[in-house]
Amino acid sequence: MVVLGLMQLAANGADLLTNIPARKVTSLNGKWQYIIDIYETGFYDYRYKERAENDPEAYWNTDVPAHSLDRKEHGYNDTYTLNVPGDWNSQADKFLYYEGTVWYKKSFDYQKSSKSNKLYLHFGAVSYRADVYINGKKLGMHKGSFSPFNFEITDSLLKEKDNFLVVKVDNRRYANEIPTLNTDWWNYGGIIRDVSLVELPNTFISNYFVQLAKPNVATNLIRGWIDVKNAALDDEVTIEIPELKITKKLRLNSEGRAIINFNAPKLIKWSLTNPKLYQVNITTASDKISEKIGFRNIEVQGEKILLNGESVFLRGISVHAEIPEEGRRAHTQKDAEKLLGWARELGCNMVRLAHYPHDEKMTRLADSLGLLVWSEIPVYWTIDFKSEEVLSKAKTQLDEMIDRDKNRASIIIWSVGNETPVSEVRTRFMKSLLDEARKMDPTRLVSAALEVNYHSEENMRWIDDPLGEYVDIVSFNQYLGWYGGTPESCRTANWGTHYKKPLFISETGAEAVGGYHAKTNQLWSEEFQEWFYKEQVAMLKRMPSNFVGISPWLLADFRSPRRNNPVYQQGWNNKGLYDQQGRKKKAFYVLKAYYDELSKTK
Ligand code: GCB
């Protein structure tokens, strides 16, 4: 038997807890006090040495003077507060371009409901580096703007009243981080997703992976595992799917893991038209957790993608985690409903969540809407492919993405990066990420957004990036008629790959300023973008038979520091089909018409 290989993760803090919404959670969202610390005075002393843990001038230590001669040169108060979750950039003008350190502080009272219980502090995401302290003691550090992490707060660290929780958040960019110095999106900083205290019994269900094995279209074999912390060998774990009248009693092995492997003959598969989710209950003597999980098969056969054994064409759209009308990161349930609602209005059956894992609310909502998801890590453009250290950071982010969302039926593709420049060392790096993704999760497809043109002949553009050999789907970005050529160039262009695999266009697009109307050939106008889409759609209709879908760039306009045309951009990338005010542009209707037509035929 193949045992699903998802590993436990310890690289970036404690093992990641799963399915937080189902737990006994106390939210720490709300107003947090802050200090902007450009010089990192709270972290380094005047000789630029890291401060000792008990240094009274460290910003993780109390700001209350002990006596009248106690000189405190730092302090938290309500004149300076930021909303958590939320990026800091959109909360006050002074933060718009800020890259550096901000200290966040929250006081809270907490009494556990039982002495033997455990308490964890869980962050949905902090951009980019978080150093976390409670009552003057460091809990740990995490890097990576878009993945969750947690630390245990042990009894010796916790007080019933007035815990002093401090998070040093640093969003500076570095050449040896993921992403690197250079991206085409705003470097939003801050505690950008939910913060919660999670109370668990001493012996608790820490993680589980429950999915249909692949390929398994006929047999409905559900496989996976359940991990229980602090349990004994042979302890019993029960998994049940009440609606299917399935109850299985399993035993833990010496690693605290129970292996799942059973048939569900009556299963109704999760699909686009019926995104069926089953309540799955997992129970041990001391713990119980439930989650709604969908079961579906996804595989590549020859040059097609098969969903539950049937060929599927991906009518997608790329999406940034940003709310254009407010110029901020998306993080609420309403935000998710807006973005995915817009995608549905466009006639999509798929979203490419670019270029990093989005909030978990997005993938959970996609599960219940029946939208397919491409989820990606920010291995973007020119990261340092030579460095083993950078590779290991990329792997950590990949592991965290997969670990968080491995039970989401909507996710069909893990992407290990975007537009990475071809070289031997790059291909080795990227292949190693593809291998890691397959090892973590053998049930899904893997890909990466590649570039074109390495050997373009007249009118024929080949996707021959050597990474094509290792992916399940050959995906590429093309902007014919925007970056190079005019939209008319689409009339004679043909695309192909020698890899005998499905071919997917992960990006194409052109900018238009919402509400700017002019002649068709006037760049930046809605009419130009509309024309671009018309020519693209005509070209797409001539694609080879292995063409399996497209996710144009992109759903909505977004902020980007690279976009400095003083009239038409002003810090925005306007390739959205929705504009900065959330209004549909003309091109929206061109793509929608194509998708509506496709939905009738494919
Ligand atoms: C791309 C990138 C995307 C950019 C886009 C653009 O190829 O993948 O992140 O924002 O082009 O607008 O140029």
Ligand 1, closest atom to CA 560? 10
Ligand 1, closest atom to CA 573? 12
Ligand 1, closest atom to CA 575? 12
Which of 10-14, 169-173, 314-318 comes out lowest in average pLDDT? Answer: 10-14
Q: How far is CA 478 from CA 16, 28, 321, 423, 453, in A?
A: 37, 43, 22, 20, 9
Average pLDDT over residues 376-381: 98
Confidence of residue 12 (pLDDT cuts 50, 70, 90): very low
Distance 5 CA to ligand 1 centre (A): 34
Task: Give the span between the Cα atoms of 447 and 69, in whole angstroms.
Answer: 62
Protein residues with CB under 6 Å of any ligand 1 atom: 184, 355, 418-419, 477, 507, 553, 573, 575
Distance 97 CA to ligand 1 centre (A): 21
Distance 479 CA to ligand 1 centre (A): 9
CATH number of this structure's domain 204-299, picked from the four choices 2.60.40.10, 2.60.120.380, 3.30.1330.60, 2.170.150.70: 2.60.40.10
CATH number of this structure's domain 300-601, picked from the four choices 3.20.20.80, 2.30.42.10, 3.40.50.300, 3.40.50.11890: 3.20.20.80
Name the residue with the closest Cα to ligand 1, atom 13: 184
Beta strand segments in 314-410, E: 314-319, 322-323, 328-329, 350-353, 372-376
Which residues have a Cβ under 8 Å from the Cβ of 115 and sit 6 or more positions away? Answer: none
Ligand 1, closest atom to CA 477? 7
pLDDT at 8: 37
Distance 488 CA to ligand 1 centre (A): 21
Which of 8-22, 48-62, 432-446, 486-500 comes out lowest in average pLDDT? Answer: 8-22
Distance 204 CA to ligand 1 centre (A): 43
Distance 509 CA to ligand 1 centre (A): 9
pLDDT in tens, 388-427: 999 999 999 999 999 999 999 999 999 999 999 999 999 9
DSSP lists the bridge partners of residue 539 as none
Task: Give the span between the Cα atoms of 520 and 529, in whole angstroms.
Answer: 8
Average pLDDT over residues 27-46: 98
Ligand 1, closest atom to CA 355? 9
DSSP states along 426-457: HHHHHHHHHHHHHHH-TTSEEEEEE---TTPB
Rounded to the nearest integer, the mean pLDDT of the chain is 96
Q: Does position 182 have pLDDT exceeding 80, yes or no?
A: yes
Ligand 1, closest atom to CA 483? 13
Distance 515 CA to ligand 1 centre (A): 22
Task: Give the span between the Cα atoms of 347 and 371, in whole angstroms.
Answer: 11
Ligand 1, closest atom to CA 418? 8
What is the phi/psi pair of residue 128, to 5°?
Answer: -105, -40
Task: Give the span between the Cα atoms of 301 and 304, in whole angstroms.
Answer: 5
Distance 330 CA to ligand 1 centre (A): 19
Distance 546 CA to ligand 1 centre (A): 24
Confidence of residue 455 (pLDDT cuts 50, 70, 90): low
Q: How far is CA 209 from the centre of its chain?
A: 18
Confidence of residue 331 (pLDDT cuts 50, 70, 90): very high
pLDDT at 214: 81
pLDDT in tens, 563-589: 999 999 999 999 999 999 999 999 999
Q: Which run of H or of E encompasses 492?
A: none
Distance 184 CA to ligand 1 centre (A): 6
Q: Does position 178 have pLDDT exceeding 70, yes or no?
A: yes
Enter the tokens of residue 9: 């993760």
Name the residue with the closest Cα to ligand 1, atom 10: 184
pLDDT at 14: 63
Test site for ligand 1: of 184, 320, 508, 559, most ligand atoms within 8 A of the Cβ: 184
Distance 193 CA to ligand 1 centre (A): 25
Test site for ligand 1: of 319, 475, 553, most ligand atoms within 8 A of the Cβ: 553
Which residues have a Cβ under 8 Å from the Cβ of 226 and sit 6 or more positions away? Answer: 205, 207, 208, 237, 239, 250, 257, 258, 260, 282
Test site for ligand 1: of 475, 504, 507, most ligand atoms within 8 A of the Cβ: 507
pLDDT at 9: 36
Sheet holding 149-152, edge to edge: 24-27, 195-200, 118-123, 149-152
Ligand 1, closest atom to CA 511? 12
Enter the tokens of residue 181: 């110095």
Burial of residue 573 (CB within 10 Å: 0-12, 13-18, 19+) is buried
Distance 550 CA to ligand 1 centre (A): 15
Distance 498 CA to ligand 1 centre (A): 25
CB 390 within 8 A of CB 383: yes
For the domain bounded by 10-200, which CATH number is listed?
2.60.120.260
pLDDT in tens, 104-123: 999 999 999 999 999 999 99
Name the residue with the closest Cα to ligand 1, atom 9: 184
CB 554 within 8 A of CB 318: yes
Give the three-state DSSP class for 201: coil
Q: CA quadruple 18, 22, 25, 31: dihedral positive or negative?
A: positive
Q: Does position 308 have pLDDT exceeding 80, yes or no?
A: yes
Average pLDDT over residues 139-159: 98
pLDDT in tens, 211-269: 999 876 778 999 999 999 999 999 999 999 999 999 999 999 999 999 999 999 999 99
Task: Give the span between the Cα atoms of 212 and 103, in whole angstroms.
Answer: 44
Q: Which residue do the tokens 């970005």 mark?
A: 477
pLDDT in tens, 88-103: 999 999 999 999 999 9
Please tell me the pTM assigned to this model: 0.97
Ligand 1, closest atom to CA 509? 12
Name the residue with the closest Cα to ligand 1, atom 3: 184
Ligand 1, closest atom to CA 183? 9
Which residue did the predictor score with more confidence, 284 or 215?
284
Task: Give the span between the Cα atoms of 143 and 131, in whole angstroms.
Answer: 9
Confidence of residue 493 (pLDDT cuts 50, 70, 90): very high
Buried b (16+ CB within 10 A) or exposed e, 356-370: bbbbbbbbbbbbebb
DSSP lists the bridge partners of residue 250 as 237
Distance 288 CA to ligand 1 centre (A): 44
Q: Does position 471 have pLDDT exceeding 90, yes or no?
A: yes
Q: Does position 130 have pLDDT exceeding 90, yes or no?
A: yes
Q: Does position 10 have pLDDT exceeding 50, yes or no?
A: no
Burial of residue 372 (CB within 10 Å: 0-12, 13-18, 19+) is buried
Name the residue with the closest Cα to ligand 1, atom 7: 477
Q: Does position 11 have pLDDT exceeding 50, yes or no?
A: no
Q: CA quadruple 428, 433, 439, 445: dihedral positive or negative?
A: negative
Distance 210 CA to ligand 1 centre (A): 35
Q: How far is CA 327 from CA 321, 382, 555, in A?
A: 10, 26, 14
Please state the domain extents for the chain. Answer: 10-200, 204-299, 300-601
Name the residue with the closest Cα to ligand 1, atom 4: 184
Distance 558 CA to ligand 1 centre (A): 11
